[in-house]
Amino acid sequence: MAAESHPYSESTQSESASARPAPDRAPDVVVIGAGVCGLGIAWRLRQRGLAVTMLDKGAVGAAASWVAGGMLAACAEAEPGEEELVRLGRHAQAMWPAFAAELEAATGVAVGLRSEGTLVVAPTADERARLLHHHAFQKSLGLTLDWLPPSEVRRREPHLAASLAGAMFSPEDHQVETRSLVTALARVAAAVGVDLRPHTAVARIVVDNGRATGVELADGSRIAAGTVVLAAGAWSRGIEGLPPAARPPVRPIKGQVIALTMDPAAPLLRHVLWAPGCYLVPRNDGQLILGATVEEKGFDTAITAGGIFSLLEAAWRVLPAIEELPIVDTVVGHRPGSRDDAPILGVSEVPGLVYATGHHRNGILLAPVTADAIARLVAGEGTDPAIAAFGMERFAAKAAA
């Protein structure tokens, strides 16, 4: 959001520059994309002693990571047909406390991991029936969600509309403050010697004799590397150089988000809240994040009256007092949506290329498991069973079936 600057807009001045690849030495790994997943991977790779160069066409963490709500919602968002994704999300949820603690200890930056849980509210009896039906599926996966009657919902959140028909409470779906997370990851990556190069667009991945051997930048210069990690979010498919079958099926899914401000001493809301047509995320500093539209409009960046109206109307139905709050910003992001809405994690048919993309709505939630599993894979420690179901080969298998 405009009021906040990105943590790194120039090449970083790392205090441990000696750990970077020397100018005449190729890095072991080039990571394309400095979002939270790419940064996490680079950090974990440096911990394994690999030299890493990280390239991003914009500022560090300035794309979807900067706009994300930061909901760690493996349970509330569980959908039929996404059982493997729920398992991955639950695994990531379990990793979050240690990931946040390690990051905070390494950087001194608090990442705002909160633990009030999430309320999914039903404004009407129809919506209550839908939530209760969905609850049976969630319970079949062993997820903990509890139905709360209206009186209990209002006891927990007194500013919610008196007419609500109840809510599902998800006690294990929490939130993290995404901009602090970006700041912390950028700081730790620089501190451990990642060669961070923002505003450095990759024109293409260089493939020699069927193997990825590095990247070519927009200015024509090349960086050779043993492994290229493609973590460019919604832009991952657009990078040239790969054979068509190796280009990940990822497209941008536009989301408009509004930031309002509450009195931090008397916030209107404490839980993350889902309602039909919107979600609300209360931050420690008093900001109330209201998101998000889901639009198939390519890389369109317009803030539209319709988008803002639909979010405010949906939020006002459940939290009428929102009408008093100042709007401090509006912002647009592009989720990297894959063909089945699940991430693409793992090796490619092009040796030397590794995918870490397609995280769709779950990039923040899945950042810790993505970082660990991809770093393990690149370092030759094998495929983490947690990501085994999320390889690129699943799309070829479906096409052949």
CA distance 356 to 50: 18
Residue 111 CB, nearest approach to ligand GLY (Å): 17
Q: Does 166 bind ligand GLY (CB under 6 A)?
A: no
Complex with ligand GLY: residue 127 or 173, whichever CB lies closer: 173
Spatial contact of 233 and 357, defined as CB atoms under 8 Å apart: yes
CB of 36 to ligand GLY, least distance (A): 12
Minimum gap (Å) between residue 333 Cβ and ligand GLY: 8
Q: Is residue 194 a contact point for ligand GLY (CB under 6 A)? A: no
> Please, which residue, 166 or 255, has the CB nearer to ligand GLY?
255
Number of residues that bind ligand GLY (CB under 6 A): 7
Contact 12, 190 (CB under 8 A): yes
**Short-list 187, 224, 200, CA closest to 13:** 187
- The Cα–Cα gap between 316 and 105 comes to 39
Helix (H, G, I), strand (E, B) or coil at 320: helix
The torsion angles phi and psi of 195, rounded to 5 degrees, stand at -85, 90
Taking a C-beta distance cutoff of 8 angstroms, is the pair 375, 45 a contact? yes
Determine, following the binding rule CB under 6 A, whether residue 117 of this chain makes contact with ligand GLY. no
- Helix ranges restricted to H, 282-337: 305-318
Instruction: Kindly list the strands in the beta sheet with 222-224, ordered across the sheet, starting from the edge strand earlier in the chain.
Output: 202-208, 211-217, 222-224
C-alpha distances (whole Å) from 174 to each of 65, 112, 151 are: 17, 10, 23
Nearest CB to ligand GLY, comparing residues 197 and 361: 361
Binders of ligand GLY among residues 48 to 77 (CB under 6 A) are 69, 71
Q: Are 386 and 340 in contact (CB under 8 A)?
A: no
CB of 174 to ligand GLY, least distance (A): 13
- Any contact of residue 179 with ligand GLY (CB under 6 A)? no
Helix residue ranges per DSSP H, 68-120: 83-107
Q: How far is the CB of 71 from ligand GLY (least distance, A)?
A: 6
Which one of residues 150, 193, 248, 255 is an interface residue with ligand GLY (CB under 6 A)? 255
Closest approach of Cβ 339 to ligand GLY, in Å?
17
User: Is residue 251 a contact point for ligand GLY (CB under 6 A)?
Assistant: no
Burial of 351 per CB tally in 10 Å (0-12, 13-18, 19+): middle
Among 361, 369, 378, 384, binds ligand GLY (CB under 6 A): 361
Q: Which is nearer to ligand GLY, 337 or 352 (CB)?
A: 337
Strands 353-357 and 344-347: antiparallel
Residue whose CB is less far from ligand GLY, 167 or 364: 364
Residue 291 near ligand GLY by CB under 6 A: yes
Residue 231 is a binding residue for ligand GLY (CB under 6 A): no
Nearer to ligand GLY, 205 or 231 (CB): 231
Contact between 335 and ligand GLY (CB under 6 A)?
Answer: yes
Task: Point out which residues bind ligand GLY (CB under 6 A).
Answer: 69, 71, 255, 291-292, 335, 361
